[in-house]
Amino acid sequence: MAKTKSKGVIGILTGGGDVPGLNPAIRAVTVRAIREGYKVIGLRRGWGGIIDVVRDKKFDNSGNFIELTKNVVDRAARTGGTFLHSSRTRPSHVVKETVPQHLQDTYKEEVNDLTEEVIKNLEWIGIDFLIAIGGDDTLSYAVHLFKRGVNVNAIPKTMDNDVPGTDYCIGFSTCITRTINMTNNLRTSAGSHERFMVLEVFGRYAGFTAMLPTMAGAAHRCLIPEHPFNVEQLTELMVMDRKENPSNYSIVLVSEGATFEGGEMQFTNAEKDAYGHAKLGGIGDMVSAKLKEISPKFNNGNTINTINQKLGYLVRCGDPDAIDSIVPMAYGTMALDLILRGIHGRLVVLKNGRYDHVPIEVVTSTKKLVNVEKHYDVERLHPIYRDFEMLPLFIMASE
């Protein structure tokens, strides 16, 4: 029997931090695309795998891309993370020391734009259509490629839920579920020792990962990047919460990007990634120390000790929950539908509970942050509970 000619080749990549739900999205695209007559190529390590491609058929590029089959994606879809792997590579800004070996004679500047290589490599692999799955950093480069004529569509992924244009990003629900679960588990220690508990969670510029668990009752207070906090105000509130709690403890969730009034973000070191972001961390330690130091002022002269825990990667590892299994399936299906209809340059989204798609340029044209006036009580350092009618599932929409 003659082999059926492919309708085209679809490339899929995942970039940025891993989250549960990436593999279900890859599966959704792959299984139906193959059924529709397309070939699917998984591009390894995000944009990093593409710039590492050596355009020579004798060269082993298996570390950079792989043909996807139903069997491959079926096995992976039930698991967390991304079996295609990931990176924080920014092809338009590649520093000299990270330029691939085979390109070092061509690109010798301190910072190099390898976009021409990306386009040539996609053509050499045979990619006709590209689906990029990532957060605003990964997708900002997808916008750049679309403007250069590449047929790109995008799927929003980030545990922080801060990609503009959509109410929901893959990974957020599992993150919130884990944060609530671990906070509830840790409260047994806080109660046993009658302490403050300070839990640092992800959230560089947006405080959704601290807001939603607090709104669900996991914590008494939360600190978010959108509102610099007064530590004496926080301490007074935490002492009050502790006194009102029969088990004599109180909990605050702290976004990693939260700042003291007049202060700055806290970083673990000065090293920055390709998008200019230094690794955040340490604000939870500082809040914990200050709470203990100031507590006697509001507690009859007596010091209150703290339990200080950084939840970190525990909330982004492991298998996806139900929402992060269903939404990626829908997003992947929609991304393929766009290709079948000849539509490119779109970001698939959830808006007010309904699936849709918007121009991919929304990723770089605006920011998605907590609307402090609408959702955050700056006097109580706590979410606002009112006016939920017609709001989306996770309350705080992409404005």
Place of tokens 């500082």: 286
Q: Of all helices (H) and strands (E), which one includes residue 255?
A: strand 250-255
CB 364 within 8 A of CB 140: yes
Given the residues 52, 137, 160, 162, the one annotated as active site: 160
User: Could you tell me which of 178, 304, 196 has the C-alpha nearest to residue 249?
Assistant: 196
Indicate if 387 belongs to the active site: no
**Can you tell me whether residue 290 is helix, strand or coil?**
helix
* Cβ burial, residue 2 (10 Å; 0-12/13-18/19+): exposed
- Kindly give the residue spans of alpha helices, DSSP state H, lying in the chain: 22-35, 47-51, 70-76, 115-125, 136-147, 172-193, 208-215, 231-244, 283-298, 323-340, 362-365, 372-375
Cα distance between residue 178 and residue 182, in whole Å:
6
11: tokens are: 């490339």
* Cβ burial, residue 276 (10 Å; 0-12/13-18/19+): exposed
Q: What does the chain come to in residues? A: 399
CB 227 within 8 A of CB 382: no
Residues known to be catalytic: 160
